[in-house]
Amino acid sequence: MKKYKLLISLVLLLFLQSVQAQIILNIALNNRPQPWLSDWVNPVNGQMIITYMLGPALNDPLIKIKTTLLDESGSIIGVSNINAARVYTLKAGVNQFTMADALQLQNLVLSGNAQNLLQRTGRLAAGQYQLMVELTNTLGDIVRAKQTRPFYIVSYSLPILMFPTNESKLDAHIAQNLITFRWSSLVPLSQEPPQNRVQVFEILPGQTAMQAFRGNRPLLDEPAIRGTTQYIWHPNLPMLDTTANHKFIWTVQTLDAKGQPFPGIDMSIQGRSEPFTFSIVNQMGTMDKNRKNDDLK
Amino acid sequence: MNHLKKIAFGLALIVALQANAQEKKKLFSFSGDMGMWYEGYGLNKIPGPPTTPDFYPARKPWNLIRYSFNPTFMIGKWTVPLNFNFSPMQNNFIAALSGGKQTMWQFLTNPANNFGIRPKIGTTEFLLGTQYLKYSDLSTGDLGIFGYGINLSPGKFRFKFFKGVSQSPVNYVAPTIPNPQGVIGAYQRNQWMAQLGLEKEGKYFAGFNFVKSIDKISSVSSPPLTPIDPQENMVLSFLTDLNTDQGWKYHIELGQSFHTRNLNSPLSLVPVGDFKPFMNAHITTSKDNAVMLAVAKKGKDWEIGTKFNYYGAGYYTAGYPFMNNDRMEYLVNTRFNTWKKKINVVASIGERYGNLSLTKGPSKTNQVIANVNVFTQFTEHFSLNTSFNNFGFNTPGIGGYKSVSNELSINPAYTWSNTKMSNLISFTYTHSKYDETILNVTTNNNTQTALILYVPTFFEKKISPDFSVMWFRNIAPSIKLTLLTATGGMTWELNKKFNLKGQLQYNINTMAPFTGSKNMLITSGFDWSVYKKLTWQFSATANVYHYGSELPGSSLIPAYAGNPSYFESTLRTGLLYKF
């Protein structure tokens, strides 16, 4: 008897759903989306699919999206303004939206700290969050579909160059044989060790350091052993010679496992750390006696 | 050959103009220099063609020529300095140019080239062409900009304005089989800047800096792909410097930046409102602040100073695009003499905190920078230089990272002489300890360097030799690297106008357990004062490198019987004419 009751209940439920139009919400959110929330328009962050199936009655293709952002503990840190939300008209079948449509950044009201950070950086603090999306009627009082997805957000800080320090002077006798480059790690550590490429540029006569950096071909462009933060370079250059270049600028380019630069605030820098300059001085040799005092100034 | 003809023609023109200038000395004169610099590079590898394995890449362009022309013309009350320094070739790497022939506009705005003119009359200075203008540390100063502007400095009033292009437009080119890298492309970046302030030279400056940059979307027919998007940036900073008669120096700069990461993104008053009339806010716009404070006091034999810097996580200025932000740091430095001025001490200590915004993990990073250098002149003949450096970097947390670098260097030097010659012998020993902790696993990396240098100077001979021997060892997990080098150099003053020079270096580089790689570097050349105003420098270098068993020929593609080697040659020459 119980089985019959259960079966009748299921049939009734299916009947009620079939006479109404059905909305199915599916959020395919990348669990590590891009850290700049405004970038969520990019397909790499996933997409939101709303399937709208027409029924014999109650066909209302108009919906609004209500977005709620929750932190790791489930506390709400942001809610979209439903009154200002855009009204979408669904077409029968599959309706595709970007994650930016789901997030509604322009319509999202964040709490104090998160709002302040968003204004300053366009990002959230690193950590685990949940994105809850509800599809409502145009008044916003009836939820027609709802889904919650967790995601982890983090951005990276490029390595800081450590040695040779900026504007340091290296002894030509040692430097023409080897120069040790060191830098800090990527912060935070990535899941796969990054690839660091050490790049050294000669500053040619009459050039500024940044001019050489942007305009010249690197004298050294070699990968360090993956995961290490040191590279020993054997220049084998005649640095004791007065005619040789004695000024250099160097950096480290940090690439991910796919060989793509780690993103920074300006993507045109292609994952390169703030460069340092160093110069070669011959403190005691004879080939550069006349320049000694100038170099040491 | 054409280049030489051009140089010869240029020299003749300058001489003729100078002769004319001498006749009308008060009305027109000029001074400065011009020159040509050439470097040729060659690389031969064994095994060689037709199937040369890719074990050592060419590290320079085969040919590189640069011209410089830096005269300053004095025409009546006008001073007109020119700064032309350019190469007809393009070797850009970071600021990419397309592989084809560059257009005239790309040539002029190529960051490798300078075409700058700064005519000045009285307190008015015009700026034309490529200019490197440093207004302040938080606004602009890093990049060359091709454009026009003006500096006015009547009395204490200061006004500067400049408008130009800091990045040439470059079309995106998709990777293809002959060009697998493709060209990432770049939008033309237009930039203007202004400074408004009051100054009494050597005493004080107070003023505002404005820097605005915008990428011109229509500048490329094939735009770069995302994430290289067109950007817009505006920085406003207040700067003040003050020097007192008592030796105090103060420096304050407060900056605020507005930055739109993608001009193609929709206009929006969220998260940041418009900054009218300079910028319309987009959804990718952010704004943040930066602060620089410094104070220093200078005495007769000493100096001490401290500085504090803060860069917000969203602070960005197109004037310093590589600036590292989201950090706060302080530094205290000092310099003083003691013990009858025989001891000179230079020291600094500082700390840097990063990830202040916590957008890059749950913890702030911490970096310690400390160094001290002590130079002591014990006697007329004996001196000792000692330096110690400490760098530490720490990211706390479960997935944390920590590195500590300690480096101690000792350098005694002794001189002695007789009636015929003087001698200098110098010894340098450096011990560097670099420890890294990643995921609670610590690795130790120890480096030792020892260098002995001997320099005899003959009072009555025209040759000046020097000799050095260096030993280097680096020990780290799975690495035991030893380098032994002997170097000899000599200059020979044939006459007052002509110096011959040469250097021979031989080193053995051993990575245990492999056999050593052997390298010989030979350089020779001359410095010749062809005549009073024309100097010619020439240098040729040969670099021969034989790999040890570290790179066996059997590991190459295609395999080779024996170990590979290469021969690298560099020819460098420069002509400089001063007028």
Sole residue written with tokens 């010619």:
B536
Q: What is the mean pLDDT of residues B83-109?
A: 81
Per residue in B36-47, pLDDT (tens digit) is: 999 999 999 998
Interface-testing mutation among A116, A214, A219, with chain B (most B C-beta atoms within 10 A): A214
Do residues A204 and A212 touch, judged by C-beta distance below 8 A? yes
Domains and CATH numbers, chain A: 10-153 (2.60.40), 161-296 (2.60.40.1220)
pLDDT tens, per residue, chain A with 297 residues: 555 665 565 554 444 444 456 899 999 999 999 999 999 999 999 999 999 988 766 678 999 999 999 999 999 999 999 999 999 999 999 999 999 999 999 999 999 899 999 999 999 999 999 999 999 999 988 999 999 999 999 999 999 999 999 999 999 999 999 999 999 999 888 888 899 999 999 998 889 999 999 989 999 999 998 888 999 999 999 998 887 889 999 999 999 988 999 988 888 889 999 999 999 998 664 434 443 333 333
Rounded to a whole number, what is the distance in Å from the CA of B9 to chain A's nearest CA?
22
How far from chain centre, in Å, is Cα B514? 36
Q: In what order do the strands lie in the sheet with A93-98?
A: A22-29, A46-53, A93-98
Q: What is the pLDDT of residue A291?
A: 38
Alpha-carbon gap, residue B501 to A291, rounded angstroms:
15
CA angle B436, B437, B438 (to 5 degrees): 115
pLDDT at B5 over 60: no
Q: What is the pLDDT of residue A293?
A: 36
Do residues B322 and A272 touch, judged by C-beta distance below 8 A? yes
Alpha helix ranges (H) inside chain A: 2-19, 99-103, 112-121, 172-175, 209-215, 289-296
Rounded to a whole number, what is the distance in Å from the CA of A130 to chain B's nearest CA?
17
Per residue in B325-367, pLDDT (tens digit) is: 999 999 999 999 999 899 999 999 999 999 999 999 999 999 9
> For residue B447, which residues of chain A lie inside 8 Å, CB to CB?
180
The ipTM (two decimal places) reads 0.91
pLDDT at B457 over 80: yes
Interface-testing mutation among A180, A217, A221, A229, with chain B (most B C-beta atoms within 10 A): A217
> For residue A126, which residues of chain B lie inside 8 Å, CB to CB?
358-362
Domain boundaries, chain B: 1-89, 481-570
pTM of the model: 0.90
Contact B259 A227 (CB under 8 A): no
Question: Which distant-in-sequence residues (6+ apart) come within 8 Å of B575 by Cβ?
Answer: B7, B35, B36, B37, B534, B535, B536
Question: Which distant-in-sequence residues (6+ apart) come within 8 Å of B226 by Cβ?
Answer: A42, B262
pLDDT at B28 over 70: yes
Rounded to a whole number, what is the distance in Å from the CA of A159 to chain B's nearest CA?
9
Compare all CA atoms of chain A with the CA of B56 and give the residue at the minimum distance: A222
Q: What is the pLDDT of residue B337?
A: 95
Q: What is the pLDDT of residue A11?
A: 52
Mean pLDDT of chain B: 91
pLDDT at B14 over 80: no
Q: What is the mean pLDDT of residues B81-103?
A: 81
Contact A289 B265 (CB under 8 A): no
Rounded to a whole number, what is the distance in Å from the CA of A158 to chain B's nearest CA?
8
Lowest mean pLDDT among A53-67, A86-100, B11-25, B396-410: B11-25
Q: Which two tokens stand for residue B248?
A: 């105090």
Nearest beta carbon to residue B455 from set A36, A178, A286: A286
Q: What is the pLDDT of residue A56?
A: 67
Torsion angle defined by CA atoms of residues A121, A122, A126 and A127, in that order, rounded to the nearest 10 degrees: 150
Distance (Å) of CA A163 to CA A167, A207, A219, A272, B154: 10, 23, 18, 16, 44
Alpha-carbon gap, residue A185 to A254, rounded angstroms:
10
> For residue A269, which residues of chain B lie inside 8 Å, CB to CB?
321-322
Contact A215 B95 (CB under 8 A): yes
Q: What is the pLDDT of residue A2?
A: 56
Q: Between B438 and A252, whose confidence is greater?
A: A252
Per residue in B474-518, pLDDT (tens digit) is: 999 888 999 999 999 999 999 989 999 999 999 999 999 999 999
Q: Which two tokens stand for residue A44?
A: 């790499």
Q: What is the pLDDT of residue B98?
A: 61
Per residue in B190-229, pLDDT (tens digit) is: 999 999 999 999 999 999 999 999 999 999 999 999 889 9
Contact A205 B574 (CB under 8 A): yes
**How many A×B Cβ pairs under 8 Å?**
309
Contact A187 B401 (CB under 8 A): yes
Q: Which two tokens stand for residue B153?
A: 């400095």
